[in-house]
Structure 1
């Protein structure tokens, strides 16, 4: 991600493209889910444990993507609980792993089993949705009185760099390409400042006991592997938009593979609130 101003595309402003940029159908999606789980599943589980996640709970994992959190929830709630994992493309989920899998669009479809869930959780979902207010209302409607909603989303404007320590050309190139990725996300309707709004958004949705924390990793294998998978996934989009060229992308991937970069991510803001009653 670059601190420079993104290139404005008048055509995209006039007719925005709201297709999901990080499509589950792309071959790199599974690799991204693996490394996102390595980086953030422990963070998420810590928050859920503090809210009292235990046997017998009914849980809805929204926009699950990969199997990490659904499997964690299924283990925690045991045979007396129930976990529903949904996604617009649930291809990476395992319907035989102790949780229910269902294709569901949280914007377009009504809430499954409204008013019944002890926990509804979504990570890195709302930030990508232009109609995130409708999606949030669907999730709130699914909660039972006293149930918890946990939303975790990135805020890339809070920390826009791929390399915090910009000491040389490889680090500057990494930050330019991160900026290009941010531009692609913006053109697809993402709100790169959404994470910081979560406490206010949850209060406005009528939830009580709202709180939030932020975290982000710096360096390490998981950050490097996630970066490589993401850049490979977005390569054609970056080229088509004129935001990068083949030589720049190849050089960046070589630097990542060589372990030359201490890569980081945008802060993950985790926020939660309870439906009163």
Structure 2
């Protein structure tokens, strides 16, 4: 999940110290789902892939393992600081804005974006560019959150700790919406792919209800946005400190927003 609206002040800055922690937690939570879909789509040796808004190394590296030395993985993002530590020559990394710039040269057998378009102001243009980049028969896999489908951090709101958690999550959504995020975007993906002319469109959704990685993700996210929450009058420092202590206690069942995965084939 990467900075795709820098002009509007992206809420979760990739350069902040918690960003790497967030990326690792997101990978633990969602990589198995992403690669289940990718493997079902038939990604194989020699194919050419474009990972849009990579944000972290785990998905590009997993794609590279699947396409092998005869294939190609192009990973793009506005902020490519995440590329540190990736072996030279395994992945072609490009600084790129999917909504403002033409796609990388050459057609692709697979184009994938996870937790990207919800943050892009011109989502329709970004989607057009990704479809434009597909070879005939190529597959597009989009995965994006839909906080509106399940807005609670603690679906089982059984006490004051859970109520506070849900109130702070509501504040987070308020900040995201103010920066142009579409909090009901995930559910629209199947329709958008069909309307764009893709065939064999399918979709599903996944969200963990409780996981240690959810707690890690919540802690890092709140630490990143605490100043914005306080400045906007959405929470006090005392409330945030209390919530972080509740998260670290391990007694909260923390969920994520559903991640909708939708895929289709270019004819």
Tell me the CA shift for residue 204 of structure 1: 1.2
1:146 & 1:190 partners in 2: Cα distance? Answer: 31
CA deviation string 1:74-117 (max 9, x = no partner): 00100000001111001012452611111000011111115x10
Counterpart of 1:74 (choices 56, 64, 73) is: 64
CA deviation string 1:16-65 (max 9, x = no partner): x7222112111111100000000000100000000001111100000000
Match of 1:122?
113
Match of 2:9?
19
Matches within 5 A, 1:255-266: 255-266=246-257
Match of 2:101?
109
1:27 & 1:59 partners in 2: Cα distance? Answer: 29
Question: SS of the residue aligned with 2:82?
Answer: coil
2:96 & 2:112 partners in 1: Cα distance? Answer: 14
Question: SS of the residue aligned with 1:122?
Answer: strand
1:93 & 1:140 partners in 2: Cα distance? Answer: 25
TM superposition score normalised by structure 1: 0.92
User: Is residue 271 from structure 1 mapped to residue 258 from structure 2 by the alignment?
Assistant: no
1:127 & 1:206 partners in 2: Cα distance? Answer: 21
Counterpart of 2:147 (choices 156, 160, 175) is: 156
Tell me the CA shift for residue 129 of structure 1: 1.1
CA RMSD, aligned part only?
1.0
1:243 & 1:129 partners in 2: Cα distance? Answer: 24
- The runs of 5 or more residues in structure 1 that have no matched partner are 1-16
1:220 & 1:51 partners in 2: Cα distance? Answer: 27
Tell me the CA shift for residue 267 of structure 1: 0.5
Match of 2:4?
none
Match of 2:197?
206
TM superposition score normalised by structure 2: 0.95
Tell me the CA shift for residue 237 of structure 1: 1.1
Match of 1:37?
27
1:45 & 1:231 partners in 2: Cα distance? Answer: 28
Structure 1 segments of 4 or more deviating over 4 A?
none
Match of 1:5?
none
Moved more, 94-103 or 256-265: 94-103
User: Is residue 171 from structure 1 mapped to residue 162 from structure 2 by the alignment?
Assistant: yes
Question: SS of the residue aligned with 1:92?
Answer: helix
- Count of paired positions: 259
